[in-house]
Each structure stands twice: as structure tokens, then as C-alpha cells.
Amino acid sequence: MVAFLGIIGLAFGLIAEPIATAQSGQAPTYTSLRAFNIPNGYVRHGGGWARLDDIYQHSPEWARADATWAVVPGLAGNCVSLESRNFKRHYLRHQNGRLRLDGFQDSRGFREDATFCQVSGLADPNAVSLRSFQFGNAFLRHAGGQVYLADNDNSPLFRADATFRTSSPLISGVFYNSLLDRGADPTMVRHNNVYYLLQGDQYNGNDLVIRKSGSVEGLRDAPPIILWRHPQCPAIACTEVWAPELQRIRNQWWIFFTGASDNGNGRSHRMFALRGRTDDPSGPYDYLGEQRLPDGQWAIDGVWFEKDGQGYYAWSGWDRDYGNANEVQHLYVARMHDPMTPAGPRVKISSPTQRWETRPNHANVLLNEGPQPIMGPQNQLFMTFSANASWTDDYCIGLLTLNGSPTEPSAWSKSGDCVFAGQDSTIAPGHNGFIQVNGRWWITYHARQHPGTGWMGRSVRLQPLSFNGAGQPIFGTAVSAHQPVPLP
């Protein structure tokens, strides 16, 4: 049996193990393609083109990543496609006789150009050749260091140039952001060795949607499971369903989310809750309605935390109803009996006052939002939050440090700048969460790959964080979309 077939599946009646479909929620299968007649020559992308280069295990990480491919079901509906390991949603395709790497285009032509069918190697039946989905006698071949699509002339040289050996991926044990190409305000948990990623927002039609997988990479293709459907407007929580939080509180799963009823000026945003019926984070859940927070004012981005055995709730809100949505957002904390019942008044712990968190924007919005607590290794509580308008490139993450009671405003001290800001293809990181895997903390967040793309340009990211000797979190730099991150 051809080695490539044994790895990835089927091609025109040559049956091997079933291919892992995009709906499986499993991590993709990766491989590297080595030329049959050049011992260390691997198919890689470079400068947007496919080429054949000598690559070794000691070659730079970026070169080995360029020569590693995810084998996915054929975009044309049959055979296979080869997706770049380090450029998500970019595929090997032919165009005018050359092989190149292009971002996905939802057209029949692109899908067919990027689909290839595997057959036994033209020069060796134990290797593999890749035939064009569209042209029955055209095969991938290398020549002069480039990779082409050419008609088989059945010469010994052509057969050798069009034959490849598969190998273990030249780079492994890593993943590349983003986890989801479209998404915002991520919340992720790991339970019984399964990862769960919960989403709301406009990407999911204002419903609450969860994905689950045994690996972080598998989340990208995991099927969305609808946990809660929004009611038709007019109704409370019928629109602008944002920033759900999935939390395990006293051995029970809870989801808190923002919702609105007015589909317009934003004055009706409040917090709502779901409570799980079982130990499964993917449901089912009971809808409990609005959380009756102290003062009953505008509220978004709520999250539960505990300190010294006492429950608290933090959120972003207005100090009063100003009659429009362009008012200052502050961070509040309240002591709680349980997730639905306050045990005291709300207390303002942070307002946007420093220069780094008051960058100008066209709507004149000043905000602190998305509070996220994390307990340090020395039992000190920290709380990240997002500042500046979320649709601008200035959006970033700041940090509050607690020294005292959570409901004592003076006990919270604020960082003097962003502690986690953007760079290159990771622009405006914000609205983060935290997940602990095997004793190590990771930060989830959304960011944009291109400047000026606003809310619709956001994608979901994940990377590790650390703590220094004093027990303070060190976030580092938001990694670029093509930088490898060690798997959790």
C-alpha cells in the first residue's frame, strides 16, 4: 500500500484508512513530501511559490515548517488538499502550470486547483504521485528547484520528478495561531482531557456555540454545538450576545453572557446566566435569566471568582444610565452569595484614566472591560482587563493587582501601560481568558492579523504565560500568526 494513502485516506478507488474529516474535531494529519530522486529535497513554500529545497532536521524551524503540510479532505469534494502548516487556510494550488500557496477562495476554480488525487508513485509503487483533480494526465513534478503541474510524458526523468516519499512532519509538537479564523472574546476550559471553546457574538448568529476536541488544534475543525438559542426580538437577550464565560463553580458548570433587547443603542445590555445539568461542559443547560446585579445598571463581560472562600463577581458597567451607548465603562466587583444573588453593593475598582487606556477613537468611547481573574503561585489575585475601543488597533490588555479585599477600591493597583499589546500579524489583542493545562497557565485572546479591520477581523489565539520570582504574571509578546507555539 502506498505510504501516503496509509496516512490520509483514499483516491479514486484506492482505499486506505478513512480520512479524518473536518467535522471530526481531531487534529489534522501532517506530512512532509521528499523528492524521490533528491535525498533531502522537500516540497516547501517560499515567497508564495512551491519549491524544492534541501531541508534537514537541523534546518531552521521556519524552513521545516514551510515544508510541513496538513493533509485535509479535498476542497473539490474528493481526493485531498495540502494546507500549509504555518499559514492557516492557505493551500497548495496550481495556476498557469506553477504550484503556489494561496489563501482560500470560495470558488469552484480555486477548490479544483487545490485538489490532488494520490496514485502509486510513477517511479516507485511504494511512493506516491499527485495527479491534478481536473487534468487526468497532469502531475506535480519538480524541475530546477521549482514545482510544476505538467503532463506525464512517461519518460524516466518525468516519472522520477513526479514521485515523492512521505515522511513524518519536519516540524511537530507545535501549533500555529489562530485556533479559529473568525471569533472574539474566547473562553476555554479543559475537562477530562477534552478542550472546550465557547463562543457567542455575530460570528455565531447571537447563539451560544461550543466546540470540543482532545487537542487544541482539533478545535478549529470541531463541529459547533449550539448550547442556547437567542429568542426572537423583541425580547431580553435577543441580540448582541457577547463574551460568554464558561466556569466550573462549586462542582457545577455555569455560563454567563451579555445580551441586549433593543437591537440598537446599547442601553439594555445586561448579564444573563445558564446552569449546567450534568458534569459535561457541552450541556445541557438551564436558562436562569438575568443576573440581578447591584444597582441594575448597564453591564457586560461578567465573570465569577473566589478569594479566601468567598465568591465575587466582576463586570464592566456604567455608573448610571446616560441614555446612550457612548459612556465611560468602569470595572465593578460585588460580593455574592451565589452566581445569581448579590451579597453586597457593587464597588468600582477601575476607570479609564491613564494615557495608555484613553486613546482617541471616533466614538469618543472610554472603557475598561473584559475583567479576567487569575490567581498567582503565591496566592495573590490579579485581574486582566481590556482597554481602548475594541474596534481600534489600540485595544490592549492591562493588569490590576490585589492587595487586600476585592471590594476595597484602594486595594487594587493598576499597571502603568499595556501588559499585553499587539505586533506584526497580532494586532489589538484583547478580551482574554485563562486556562491551566498540566500545571501551566495559558492565555486565550482575540486579535487581528491586519490593521484597521475592526470587529470582523478578529480571530481566536492561545499562548503560554509565566510568573516571575515575585509571583507576578509575565505575558510576553503576542506571538505572530506564523510563529510556532509548543502544544500544551
Q: Cell 446616560: give the residue.
A: 322
Closest alpha carbon to 383 in 442, 328, 333, 317: 333
In sequence order, the β-bridge partners of residue 417 are none
154 contacts: CB under 8 Å, gap ≥ 6: none
Measured CA to CA, the distance from residue 325 to residue 328 in angstroms comes to 9
In sequence order, the β-bridge partners of residue 329 are 367
Determine the distance from the C-alpha atom of residue 89 to the mean position of all C-alpha atoms in its chain, rounded to a whole number. Answer: 13
Closest alpha carbon to 143 in 167, 165, 159, 127: 159
Is the Cβ–Cβ distance between 393 and 427 less than 8 Å?
yes
* C-alpha distance from residue 187 to each of 13, 195, 429, 443 (Å): 43, 11, 14, 10
Closest alpha carbon to 194 in 212, 174, 217: 212
Compute how many other C-beta atoms are within 10 angstroms of the C-beta atom of residue 341: 10
**How high is the pLDDT of residue 164?**
97
Which amino acid is present at 30?
Y
398 contacts: CB under 8 Å, gap ≥ 6: 356, 357, 368, 384, 385, 386, 387, 414, 415, 417, 418, 419
**DSSP helix/strand/coil, 203:** helix
Note the residue count of the chain. 488
Compute how many other C-beta atoms are within 10 angstroms of the C-beta atom of residue 394: 21
Is the Cβ–Cβ distance between 5 and 118 less than 8 Å?
yes
Which amino acid is present at 4?
F
Q: Cell 522537500: give the residue.
A: 42
Is the Cβ–Cβ distance between 216 and 487 less than 8 Å?
yes
**How high is the pLDDT of residue 174?**
87
Is the Cβ–Cβ distance between 350 and 367 less than 8 Å?
no
**How high is the pLDDT of residue 130?**
98
**DSSP helix/strand/coil, 294:** helix
- 349: its cell numbers: 475598582
Which amino acid is present at 483?
Q
- What is the radius of gyration, based on Cα positions, of the chain? 25
Domains of the chain with CATH codes: 3-167 (2.80.10.50), 174-486 (2.115.10.20)
pTM recorded for the entire structure: 0.80
Q: Cell 444610565: give the residue.
A: 321
The pLDDT tens digits along the chain (488 residues) read: 333 433 333 332 222 222 233 334 566 789 999 999 999 999 999 999 999 999 998 898 899 999 999 999 999 999 999 999 988 899 999 999 999 999 999 999 999 999 999 999 999 999 999 999 999 999 999 999 999 999 999 999 999 999 999 988 998 888 888 899 889 999 999 999 999 999 997 778 889 999 999 989 889 889 999 999 999 988 999 999 999 999 999 999 999 999 998 755 678 999 999 999 999 999 999 999 999 999 999 999 999 999 999 999 999 999 987 666 568 999 999 999 999 999 999 999 999 999 999 999 988 889 999 999 999 999 999 999 999 999 999 999 999 999 999 999 999 999 999 999 888 889 999 999 999 999 999 999 999 989 999 998 899 999 999 999 999 999 999 998 878 898 88
